DNA sequence: TCTGCTCGTTCGACTTGACGAACGCCTCCA
DNA sequence: TGGAGGCGTTCGTCAAGTCGAACGAGCAGA
């Protein structure tokens, strides 16, 4: 069986600003702007034009000079199509894959209750929660989603073959799997009334 | 069945800003500041002093006049001890129950597969994923977690009584519930081998 | 090489946000 | 009754953010 992949580490990254406490927001914004801009492949000139601000302003922002107003930042957020908070909160770690059957269990003081941490959320990730119900049949191959997407799946009932298209894993009720959502992957019910929870994480 | 519990109050916010698209950030900030300030019971004078800004500035902010700089907002975030993004992103809802078979289902092209979106992720939330297994017994009452925590629970097997301590909801396999994690809440298994997925969301 | 383009930075003029003082309003208490 | 102290708002001044234009650097093609 598999394994665990990744991380362990991730998770935290705490340093950032769990609360608003710590570091210099201007620095943060400077690197965030640049990061997001380069991610979209826009030039300063182009981005400034789209956001409706002067490119000199943008230049100063990315150089860490200045102290932008909310409207300026907002305009940039819109132009970059990122949520506002992405520009003011610290960056993010990576993708991680944990395979359960077991895992870090925190047993209750009473023996009839146990909780297992399956996936600690990386900062700034967005996780949408889905319920899946399926019947046996052909494998359902999903097209890859956006880059940086991770799918977390926990099987509630039935049996299923899940994971990367070239290397899926058979799951029984209670099993958990996480795998990259930006590569081809499948979900194939092996038993009637197979049900699962999928948490789709995109960053 | 049931659904929705509580509130009603909360209200609006919907419009919010999934992405940065929509509404006026200044309005948003105005109400957010006021909301958070009143939550902590501080006066304008006091908050301004703590944040190190002029109370006139704060007054203008809460009245929706003006266009604060990042440093000003940041100072307020620190003084209020809330994450920055809480000031620029809209508030959040309350208890929601989606019964098995209910909810916005996106059926597959093939009839043997269906996915239900249970909860779309608010900006900047962190969602940790847990698996719960429990046996019938006393209700397990959780102490409230940090402010701004929401718990999402989907029952995999068994039966359980879940939700706010004073108004829990009985769930069957496939049922989904979300409720505030920062108020007392319980999880009580009603059948042997009750299992659930909990996604703990904190902002 | 020279022209024309785009890139990101720097500079002065203008607009505007942040500040502190003064104001009106209220409550409390001598 | 009047004074003291809190509240939130308004006003004039000053500093700072924003803007547009000009600048030097890099690159493609005639």
Instruction: Please tell me the predicted confidence (pLDDT) of residue A191.
Output: 87
Tokens of A184: 């081809």
Q: How far is CA A121 from the centre of its chain?
A: 8
Instruction: Please tell me the predicted confidence (pLDDT) of residue A144.
Output: 63
Task: Give the residue-averaged pLDDT of A43-69.
Answer: 90
pLDDT at position A69 over 90: yes
- CB contact at 8 A, A89 and B87: no
pLDDT at position A6 over 60: no
pLDDT at position A160 over 80: yes
List CB-based contacts (under 7 A) with strand C. Answer: A 43-46, 55-56, 59-60, 62-63, 69; B 52-57, 60-61, 66-69, 72
Instruction: Please tell me the predicted confidence (pLDDT) of residue A93.
Output: 27
Instruction: Please tell me the predicted confidence (pLDDT) of residue B18.
Output: 39
Task: Give the residue-averaged pLDDT of A166-173.
Answer: 79
Where are chain B's structural domains? Answer: 25-88, 96-202
Torsion on CA atoms B80, B84, B85, B90, rounded to nearest 10: 30
pLDDT-based confidence at B41, cuts 50/70/90?
A: confident
Give contacts of B 9-38 with A, CB under 8 A.
17-21, 25-26, 29
Instruction: Please tell me the predicted confidence (pLDDT) of residue B38.
Output: 84
Average pLDDT, chain A: 68
What contacts A155, CB < 8 A, 6 or more positions away? A162, A171, A172, A173, A174, A175, A176, A194, A195, A196
pLDDT-based confidence at B20, cuts 50/70/90?
A: very low
Q: Mind listing the pLDDT tens digit for each residue in B144-200? A: 666 667 788 888 888 888 887 777 888 888 777 878 777 778 888 888 888 888 887
Q: Do B85 and A84 touch (CB under 8 A)?
A: yes
pLDDT-based confidence at A155, cuts 50/70/90?
A: confident
pLDDT at position A197 over 60: yes
Task: Give the residue-averaged pLDDT of B99-109.
Answer: 43
pLDDT at position A88 over 90: no
Architecture of domain B96-202: Sandwich (2.60)
pLDDT at position B106 over 70: no
List CB-based contacts (under 7 A) with strand D. Answer: A 52-57, 60-61, 66-69, 71-72; B 43-46, 55-56, 59-60, 62-63, 69
What contacts A54, CB < 8 A, 6 or more positions away? A48
Instruction: Please tell me the predicted confidence (pLDDT) of residue B167.
Output: 75
Whole-number Å distance, CA A71 to C1' C17? 12
Lowest mean pLDDT among A111-120, A149-158, A183-192: A111-120
Architecture of domain A25-87: Orthogonal Bundle (1.10)
- CB contact at 8 A, A155 and A196: yes
pLDDT-based confidence at B133, cuts 50/70/90?
A: confident
Task: Give the residue-averaged pLDDT of B93-113.
Answer: 42
Q: How many CA atoms lie within 13 A of B101 on its CB side?
A: 6
Instruction: Please tell me the predicted confidence (pLDDT) of residue A146.
Output: 63
User: Which of the pair, B23 or A191, is modelled with greater confidence?
Assistant: A191
Choose the most confident range, by mean pLDDT, from A8-12, B29-33, B129-133: B29-33
Instruction: Please tell me the predicted confidence (pLDDT) of residue A139.
Output: 66
Q: Mind listing the pLDDT tens digit for each residue in A18-32? A: 344 456 788 888 888
Give the C-alpha distances (Å, rounded to integers) separating A105 from A8, A39, A102, B132, B187: 15, 38, 7, 10, 17
DSSP states of B56-122 = HHHHHHHTT-S--BHHHHHHHHHHHT--HHHHHS------EEE-TT-S-EEE-SSTTEEEEEEEPPP
Q: Assign domain B25-88 to its CATH superfamily.
A: lambda repressor-like DNA-binding domains (1.10.260.40)
Instruction: Please tell me the predicted confidence (pLDDT) of residue B72.
Output: 92
Provide the CATH number for the domain formed by A105-202 in this structure.
2.60.120.10
Task: Report d(CA B53, CA B42) in Å as an integer.
Answer: 14
| Minimal-distance CA residue of chain B relative to A86 | B124
pLDDT at position A122 over 70: no
Q: Do A69 and B73 touch (CB under 8 A)?
A: no
């Amino acid at each position: 069986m598999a394994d665990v992949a990744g991380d362990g580490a991730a998770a935290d990254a705490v340093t950032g600003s769990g609360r608003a406490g710590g570091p210099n927001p201007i620095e943060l914004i400077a690197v965030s702007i640049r990061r997001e801009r380069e991610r979209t492949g826009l030039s300063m000139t182009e981005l400034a034009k789209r956001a409706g601000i002067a490119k000199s302003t943008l230049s100063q922002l990315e150089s860490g000079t200045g102290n932008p107003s909310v409207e300026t930042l907002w305009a940039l957020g819109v132009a970059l199509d990122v949520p506002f908070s992405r520009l003011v909160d610290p960056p993010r770690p990576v993708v991680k894959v944990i395979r359960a059957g077991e895992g870090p269990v925190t047993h209750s003081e009473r023996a009839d209750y146990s909780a297992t941490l399956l996936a600690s959320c990386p900062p700034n990730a967005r996780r949408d929660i889905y319920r899946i119900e399926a019947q046996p049949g052909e494998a359902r191959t999903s097209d890859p989603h956006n880059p940086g997407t991770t799918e977390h799946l926990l099987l509630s009932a039935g049996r299923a073959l899940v994971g990367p298209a070239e290397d899926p894993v058979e799951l029984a009720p209670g099993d958990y799997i996480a795998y990259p959502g930006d590569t081809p992957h499948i979900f194939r019910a092996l038993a009637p009334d197979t049900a699962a929870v999928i948490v789709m994480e995109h960053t």
